[in-house]
Amino acid sequence: MPSEPALDFLSVEQTISAAVATRALARALALEPGAPVLEVERMVFAADGQPVEKSRVYYPADRHEYRITLCRGKGAQR
């Protein structure tokens, strides 16, 4: 079975926002309507700068933790 070529992406832009669950979202996430959720929107850009993927996902705020490690400099590690 042939595999898809790896995506050569330049950058990813991600936004995390506080939101409240609509009725439909609450039903999908087993929450009460109006419960707090995290909305994560992500846009992936190819090496030529063109957007190639966009996603928006929701997480129950009481069951999710977001952690990121930021490193400075080429080859930097923690």
pLDDT reported for residue 17: 96
pLDDT reported for residue 3: 64
Q: What is the CA radius of gyration of the chain?
A: 17
Name the DSSP letter for residue 61.
G
pLDDT above 80 for 74? no
E strands present in the chain: 9-20, 36-46, 51-60
At 76, is the secondary structure helix, strand, or coil? coil
What is the rounded average pLDDT for all residues in the chain? 88
What is the mean pLDDT of the segment spanning 30-56? 94
pLDDT above 80 for 48? yes
CA distance 21 to 63: 14
CA distance 54 to 31: 25
pTM of the model: 0.73
